Structure 1
Amino acid sequence: MPAFYLTLIAVLLAGFGGRDQATIAGLTARQGQRPGVLLVGLLCAGLTAAFAAWLAGIMLAQLPPPARAIFAGIALGLAGLESILFVPKRRPAEPTNSLGALLLVLLAGQLTDAARFVVFALGVGMAAPLAAGAAGAVGGAILGGAAWAAPQILDGAAARRVRRAIGLVLFLAALILFLREFSIL
């Protein structure tokens, strides 16, 4: 159970202000709270978390225990860099009304976002891909639901600063994990 709770907290932090959340919030602010947008967001969160957990299970079977922590550190570092470098700047000017297009945009964005890197990293690092995947799906659903219910929370520079700060914390955690694994720290 610790893998579930730790992954849930990490996903909620890493996913705050992400591209997927900004997309859902932008559509909701422009078109209103369409239930289809929420359902597509929940579906994508579940699918991408399951994919990250599946990849973690594959890597877990191939890596010896000492290499798992190093690999998890690399994935956490990538999550931190993604949070620092890819902060959504503004809402889309011409959002489409198509739920199919939204599905494709969310899937493409979530496959390489910080929250799914965290699911992958903790699934491998804690040797619990199923718990990490379940927590990633729940965390992604919470983030998508929050963006749908209150799209204004992502407005302004404060959300971008929080996202970058969380990215810095993730990157530092990865660095500490990496240095500890090599007995440098």
Structure 2
Amino acid sequence: MSSFLFGFALVLIVSIGARDQLLVARLAGRTGPGLVVAGGLAATFSACMMAWGGAWIADMLFPAAQAMLVALALGAAAIELMWPASDKAPREPSHSIIAAFVVLLARQLGDAGRFLIFALSAATALPWLVAAGGAIGGTGALVVGWIAGRDLETALPLRAIRLVLAAVLLIAAFTIGLTARGIV
């Protein structure tokens, strides 16, 4: 159960101001609830893919190498959090749910939340609970973006929040990496 809760909480937290959440927030006034459904499906699919990948690769590694894999995934998540999001509002001429699914899936496959799902799946014995928690957390973040709409970008200092989260993940990555190497 803790695998589920960690997946849920971490993905929900690091998805604050994420590219997929901002896209849903920017399109919220122009599209219907189908956008959230497409986002939920994309979040579920991406969480399952990353959980499977993390568990599959971790099964081939020794414990110290698994810890290094987790550290690298956390570092990748931190870098993604530091990367500035685009300020351009998208044009959505088609209002296609399938197009929204494809775009949201592409944005999610390389975001911090999915890297955390990968890391947690590599570190725990229950990757499918991590995937379920991550899928629900990712969908929850998109629902928040859809409800908040354009106000999301002005209601919170998103850039500052993401930089603080990146710093926390970098510290965790260095600590885990140094521990895996036997330095700490």
In 2, are the aligned partners of 1:73 and 1:178 still within 8 Å (CA)?
Answer: yes
Distance of 2:56 and 2:24 partners within structure 1: 31
Distance of 1:127 and 1:14 partners within structure 2: 23
Give the match for residue 2 of structure 2: 2
In 2, are the aligned partners of 1:110 and 1:116 still within 8 Å (CA)?
Answer: yes
Q: 1:98 aligns with which of 96, 99, 115?
A: 96
Residue 5 of structure 1 deviates from its aligned partner by 1.5
> Secondary structure at 2:157's aligned position in 1?
helix
Give the match for residue 68 of structure 2: 70
The letter of the residue matching 2:176 is L
Residue 54 of structure 1 deviates from its aligned partner by 1.2
Distance of 1:183 and 1:37 partners within structure 2: 47
Residue 157 of structure 1 deviates from its aligned partner by 7.0
Residue 126 of structure 1 deviates from its aligned partner by 2.0
Written as runs of structure 1 = structure 2, the 5 A alignment for 1:1-185 is: 1-29=1-29, 31=30, 34-85=32-83, 87-96=84-93, 97-151=95-149, 152-155=151-154, 158-185=157-184
In 2, are the aligned partners of 1:26 and 1:91 still within 8 Å (CA)?
Answer: no
Residue 176 of structure 1 deviates from its aligned partner by 1.1
Distance of 2:33 and 2:90 partners within structure 1: 21
Distance of 2:8 and 2:68 partners within structure 1: 21
In 2, are the aligned partners of 1:41 and 1:103 still within 8 Å (CA)?
Answer: yes
Residue 100 of structure 1 deviates from its aligned partner by 2.1
In 1, are the aligned partners of 2:52 and 2:121 still within 8 Å (CA)?
Answer: no
CA RMSD in angstroms comes to 1.6
Q: TM-score w.r.t. structure 1 length?
A: 0.91
Distance of 1:114 and 1:54 partners within structure 2: 16
Distance of 1:147 and 1:57 partners within structure 2: 30
Unaligned stretches of 5+ residues in structure 1: none
> Secondary structure at 1:49's aligned position in 2?
helix
Deviation track 1:5-30 (CA, whole Å, cap 9, x = no partner) reads 1222211122111110011001004x
Residue 153 of structure 1 deviates from its aligned partner by 2.1
Residue 169 of structure 1 deviates from its aligned partner by 1.1
In 1, are the aligned partners of 2:11 and 2:138 still within 8 Å (CA)?
Answer: yes
> Secondary structure at 1:155's aligned position in 2?
helix
The letter of the residue matching 1:62 is M
Unaligned stretches of 5+ residues in structure 2: none
Count of residue pairs the alignment pairs up: 182
